[in-house]
Amino acid sequence: MHEINKATAELREEMAQRSALNPGGTRRIGNFGFIELEETWGDEATIINTARISTTNQRLANGHEFTDRDRALLYQLLRDQHGTPFETVYFRFRFIAPIFVLRQWVKHRVSSWNEFSMRYRKPISVAYVPDVTARTVDGFAVLDEAAIDEYEALMAQLFAWYEKQYSAACSRIDGARECGELAPKEGGRDPYRGRARELLRNVMPVATYSDVYWTVNFRSLMNFFKLRRKQDAQYEIREYADAAFALFAARLPLLAETMQRVLDESAAAGAAAQESSGHA
Ligand SMILES: Cc1cc2nc3c(=O)[nH]c(=O)nc-3n(C[C@H](O)[C@H](O)[C@H](O)COP(=O)(O)OP(=O)(O)OC[C@H]3O[C@@H](n4cnc5c(N)ncnc54)[C@H](O)[C@@H]3O)c2cc1C
């Protein structure tokens, strides 16, 4: 394995710290991946109380002790797609994932993103490496060990090339300052180093890891689970979606259970409709 840069070593340390501080709210994924459910705002009671505004002023009597009526209401609202009560509960995830996974994830537009920037910092100098499960389809290894060795060497070459060119650009900038060709650096960001980072990041592959805060309401999160936990979603985003689901289910079990019931019923109804129309 090639030498990782300082920012990447710090990030690795941070993942270990967060995993120790919040063991039930974090998961490690792949060779450098990570996900944490950092915060949630609202819960099942928020949804039930919100929905009841149209029929009664009675809020849940005992905070989080749900009656059969409460459970039935939650199920019925979700089944019948009463969207807005489910928009009142929010989740903030942090994840470290390869850029190709982020490109799929960011298509879920109804959510807020904040991402690590290679304009301001050097890249995270680790690339995703598919493990045996990721590169095997029905028992057949699509990429063999030799291919993976070459893949890793290629990634290492790109990270080394970035470091070499960035050091060279910094030396040229410093030299030009010393001889008065460039003005001395003032406070704030150095525009010359910044431009070098902007250009050098162009060679970073989509396997490079990035770091994101993702804030999403439950309605949109459910759509994400529905689309990205299905077998036809790519293996890597499915791994993140499954981990996000496990963290969410541990935090809000009644909502997770009700959602899964609705999704399963809807999938079964879809399959039955397809079969009866002869498109199985
Ligand atoms: C298996 C799979 C394969 C895919 N392949 C591709 C691909 O090849 N290329 C590609 O580009 N994408 C692809 N996608 C992404 C897919 O097309 C969606 O962009 C993505 O799943 C986000 O779904 P969404 O639009 O429902 O989510 P969000 O963007 O979060 O939107 C949530 C909901 O809000 C509503 N909404 C949001 N924006 C609008 C709008 N502008 N107008 C009307 N309603 C809106 C819709 O009801 C939508 O379902 C794929 C997704 C999956 C799961």
For position 168, what pLDDT does the model report? Answer: 98
Cα of 201 from ligand 1 centre, angstroms: 28
Taking residues 208-233, what's their average pLDDT?
A: 97
In the chain, the amino acid numbered 114 is: N
For position 159, what pLDDT does the model report? Answer: 96
Ligand 1 within 6 A of CB of 156: no
User: Packing angle between helix 218-228 and helix 235-251, nearest 10 degrees?
Assistant: 140
pLDDT in tens, 54-87: 887 777 766 778 999 999 999 999 999 999 999 9
Ligand 1 within 6 A of CB of 227: yes
Going from N- to C-terminal start, the domains of the chain cover 6-43+89-133+206-276
Q: What is the CATH number of domain 6-43+89-133+206-276?
A: 3.30.1360.170
Looking at the chain, how many residues does it have?
280
Residue 92 CA to residue 76 CA, distance in Å, equals 26
Residue 29 CA to residue 246 CA, distance in Å, equals 13
Placement of tokens 């300052």 in the chain? 177
Name the percent of the chain lying above pLDDT 90: 85
For position 36, what pLDDT does the model report? Answer: 98
Taking residues 194-198, what's their average pLDDT?
A: 97
> In this structure, are residues 2 and 156 in contact, taking their beta carbons and an 8 Å threshold?
yes
Average pLDDT value for the chain = 94
Residue 140 CA to residue 60 CA, distance in Å, equals 54
Token code pair at residue 177: 């300052």
For position 270, what pLDDT does the model report? Answer: 85
Residue 69 CA to residue 75 CA, distance in Å, equals 10
Residue 280 has pLDDT above 70, yes or no: no
Ligand 1 within 6 A of CB of 233: yes
Sign of CA dihedral 8, 12, 17, 18: positive
Ligand 1 atom at shortest distance from the alpha carbon of 227: 53
Ligand 1 within 6 A of CB of 223: yes
Strands 209-217 and 26-29: unpaired
